[in-house]
């Protein structure tokens, strides 16, 4: 058994949205597609390089990030657990600077909680109020707006992590990866 990050997101976070936010944070570019519908069209944000596949388990899906990622790796893989405590969504990737920074970005984007090391006695190392729950103060940010368009706009405005973001959380990682800081920062335009 390894040491993992424990990232818990609000119950109403969709797998596709969380995966795409992870991809953007990891350095994958967004792609906007225009969807022509009756009475007008709209733009839909996608992130090429993010793949979501079902597993044989009812409670998990496999998520792959593939491409030019901020830590210099060509891909990352993790399991997304559908259900956590009180319907929350959670997953536990390896406790590295990359995953801590990505999970911190997810919690900033959606709200939730983060534990840097799931073997520690900490109950929570980082927390933000939910952005999309009727039961939290964060709901007022999107009350009255079309959530779909709001989510696409927020994805469109999200910036990828930098090596400085990874350096900032490196001290919390259980698995040290100093070699990622030796290379020049990867350009994500």
Q: pLDDT of 121-142, one tens digit each?
A: 888 999 999 876 444 444 445 4
- The gap from C-alpha 49 to its chain's centroid, in whole angstroms, comes to 14
Tokens read off for 175? 């698995």
CB 131 within 8 A of CB 141: yes
Q: Alpha-carbon dihedral of residues 133, 63, 104, 116, nearest 10 degrees?
A: 110
Tell me: pLDDT of 110 over 90: yes
Segment 11-33 mean pLDDT: 91
Quote the pLDDT of residue 146.
Answer: 62
pLDDT in tens, 47-86: 999 998 876 555 678 889 999 999 989 999 887 776 777 7
Q: What percent of the chain has pLDDT over 90?
A: 41
Confidence category of residue 34, pLDDT binned at 50, 70, 90: confident
Tokens read off for 73? 């790796």
| pTM for this predicted structure | 0.83
Quote the pLDDT of residue 39.
Answer: 66
CB 176 within 8 A of CB 169: no
List CB contacts of 51: < 8 A, sequence separation 6 or more: 63, 64, 66
Residue 28 burial by Cβ neighbours in a 10 Å radius (0-12, 13-18, 19+)? buried
Segment 76-99 mean pLDDT: 83
Enclosing H/E stretch for 127 = strand 126-128
Quote the pLDDT of residue 55.
Answer: 62
Q: What is the mean pLDDT of the chain?
A: 82
Tell me: pLDDT of 38 over 80: no
Tokens read off for 58? 């009812």
């Amino acid at each position: 058994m390894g040491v993992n990050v424990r990232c818990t997101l609000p119950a109403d976070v969709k797998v596709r949205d969380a995966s795409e936010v992870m991809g953007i944070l990891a350095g994958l570019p967004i792609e906007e597609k225009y969807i022509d519908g009756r009475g007008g069209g709209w733009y839909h944000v996608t992130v090429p390089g993010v793949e979501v596949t079902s597993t044989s388990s009812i409670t998990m899906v496999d998520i792959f990030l593939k491409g030019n990622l901020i830590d210099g790796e060509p891909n990352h893989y993790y399991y997304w657990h559908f259900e956590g405590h009180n319907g929350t969504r959670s997953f536990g990737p390896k406790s590295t600077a990359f995953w801590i920074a990505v999970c911190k970005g997810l919690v900033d984007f959606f709200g939730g909680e983060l534990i840097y090391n799931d073997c520690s006695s900490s109950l929570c190392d980082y927390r933000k109020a939910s952005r999309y729950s009727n039961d939290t103060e964060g709901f007022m940010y999107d009350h009255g707006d079309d959530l779909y368009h709001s989510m696409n706009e927020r994805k469109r405005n999200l910036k990828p992590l930098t090596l400085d973001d990874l350096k900032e959380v490196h001290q919390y990682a259980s698995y040290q990866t100093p070699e990622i800081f030796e290379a020049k920062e990867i350009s994500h335009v």
